[in-house]
Structure 1
Amino acid sequence: MLPCLNKQLFGVECLGCGIQRAFWLLLRGEFVAAFKMYPAIYTLLILAIFGLLHLKYKFKKGRKIILTLVTVNLLIIIISYFIKMNYLF
């Protein structure tokens, strides 16, 4: 797996740390472990699948749905990052 450049240079995890491992766990069928590793893994997959379907089928409200999914993903990623870094709770 690719090492996190941010973690190597600065010693601090980035917002994307864990996504590769979570995806690998997901492929191995370890669904709970994947969620614990990177909580946004499932919503990112939904966003990717919907984005690809929207490219092909041009849904009527596709752009609005994608914007909502991106916003939800960003919130999950940021909140889980702060929890992981012990800035919250």
Structure 2
Amino acid sequence: MQTILLNITQWLTQHQLPCLVKSTIGVACPSCGLQRSAIALLQGQWWQSVQYYPALIPIIVWLLLVVVNQRWAVVQQQLLLKYGLLFIFSIIILSYIYKLTF
């Protein structure tokens, strides 16, 4: 299992897509760092993943909650979608402002 994960992370590292916004305009987009964050997360580097893209882990948790909720209806669907996405978009906007400022 570990060698499969290692092969996947090596392949992902070698095949990262360039950010079209950053290469065209010269300014990072709100999703810059997502690929590096996912690779760091697959390698078990949690803190590095958060530094690259702080919203990735909340996005994964939210997606898992949506899937679980679809199956077992644990939480009211509209609340989960509404407040989960509000939380995730807040993280994206705040981290993007921080990235542009510092």
Shared fold per TM-score greater than 0.5: yes
Instruction: Give the match for residue 57 of structure 2.
Output: 42
Instruction: Provide the C-alpha distance between the structure 2 equivalents of 1:65 and 1:53, rounded to a whole number of angstroms.
Output: 11
Structure 2 counterparts to residues 1-89 of structure 1, below 5 A: 1-86=16-101
- In structure 1, runs of 5+ residues without a counterpart are none
Q: Distance in 2 between matches of 1:8 and 1:48?
A: 30
Structure 2: runs of 5 or more not aligned: 1-15
Deviation at 1:52, TM superposition (A): 1.8
Q: How many residues align?
A: 87
TM-score scaled by structure 1?
0.88
Q: TM (normalized to structure 2)?
A: 0.78
| Aligned-pair Cα RMSD in Å | 1.4
> Per the alignment, do residues 82 and 58 of structure 1 end up closer, same or farther by CA in structure 2, a change over 3 Å counting?
same
Distance 1:86 1:51, change over 3 A: same
Q: Which 4+ residue blocks in structure 1 deviate beyond 3 angstroms?
A: none
Maintained 8 Å contact 2:21/2:29: yes
Q: Which has the higher helix share?
A: 2
- Give the percent of matched residue pairs that are identical in Structure 1 and Structure 2: 28
Where 2:101 maps in the other structure, the secondary structure is coil
- After superposition, the C-alpha distances for 1:24-63 in whole angstroms (9 at most, x for unaligned) are 1000000000001111111111111112222333345122
